[in-house]
Amino acid sequence: MHTGEPFQLRKARDFGQIFSDTFAFLRQEWRPLLRAIALIGLPVGLIGGFLSGDALAGVQHFQIRAESDPEGALALLGSSMIGLVPGMLLLMAAWALVVAMAHEYLRAYHLGEHQVLSSGDIIKRGLAQIGPYLGASPLSGLLVLLGLILCVLPAIYPATVLSLVLAAHAIERTGGAGSLSRSNQLVSGDFWPTLGLAIVMVIIKSIIDQVLVLPFTIAGLVIGVNAGLESATGGGPLELPAWISAFNAVSTAVQWCVQMLTYPVIAVAYMLKYFSRVEETEGIGLKEKIAGFDQV
């Protein structure tokens, strides 16, 4: 149960205010957010990441053994792919759960329901709305992918104008297609500030992610360098340690889970941007205050 000072989400903010208020909100509300993610998102993500990491280790072994033992390498690749598909499906499911739960908590906070909201309630609400969030995310993702196919620069435009899709559905229940239109409407006329916010928050999240998984990154580099040195000094083919599959599986699982735990950084920033644009273009909060005065 939350007992802190209420945080005003519906408010017009400039770039600096959105940046600072994102972390102010997370400092205040990180416990219920991360608790819900840890209860259901992380277990699924751990399993999916472990299976995917183990499969990727098999791909590495395949690349090394392809010349010396083609038949054995192909058999190894085939067995590795068996774990890759369910691993990726589990990761997609975990991400969908994390996205839905984060935004449903922000919706509950906006409605003043967060004080009596348990982790189980957040999970239930996330599961109930996972369909619309899944509908909105792939639609916007396909448009961004189309831009990437054309060129990097065209991908930046849809990624920016559709950045408020999930926030729009969380607050307005606009659904998949409706959220695309609503996000485009809100970002229209504010493209560059929205792009700037997206770039800064993605960079910050990436830095946090990299710092948290730094031990695994360093260990992976050491393993690769040692394997290369042993191959060069021994004169034989490059060989990875027998335990590399287990290391890759654990490392991949941890990296995916860290990214899920830091996802609220992006979700909160975009939610504050959503509310800011609504206030700047429509003045919903001001209208509600005026209506409240009229009723007094």
- pLDDT given for residue 172 in this prediction: 94
SS (H, E, C) the chain: CCCCCCCCCCCCCCHHHHHHHHHHHHHHHHHHHHHHHHHHHHHHHHHHHHHHHHHHHHHHHHHHHCCCCHHHHHHHHHHHHHHHHHHHHHHHHHHHHHHHHHHHHHHHHHCCCHHHCCHHHHHHHHHHCHHHHHHHHHHHHHHHHHHHHHCHHHHHHHHHHCCCHHHHHHHHCCHHHHHHHHHHHHHCCCHHHHHHHHHHHHHHHHHHHHHHCHHHHHHHHHHHHHHHHHHHHHCCCCCCCCCHHHHHHHHHHHHHHHHHHCHHHHHHHHHHHHHHHHHHHHCHHHHHHHHHHHHC
pTM for the predicted model, two decimal places: 0.82
Is the pLDDT at 255 greater than 50? The verdict is: yes
- pLDDT given for residue 75 in this prediction: 57
Is the pLDDT at 267 greater than 50? The verdict is: yes
Q: Kindly report the average pLDDT of the chain as a whole number.
A: 79
Is the pLDDT at 238 greater than 90? The verdict is: no
Is the pLDDT at 147 greater than 50? The verdict is: no
Q: What is the pLDDT of residues 35-49, one digit of tens each?
A: 988 888 888 888 988
pLDDT over 70 percentage in the chain: 72
Q: What is the pLDDT of residues 46-100, one digit of tens each?
A: 898 888 877 776 666 555 555 455 555 555 556 666 777 888 888 888 888 888 9
- pLDDT given for residue 50 in this prediction: 84
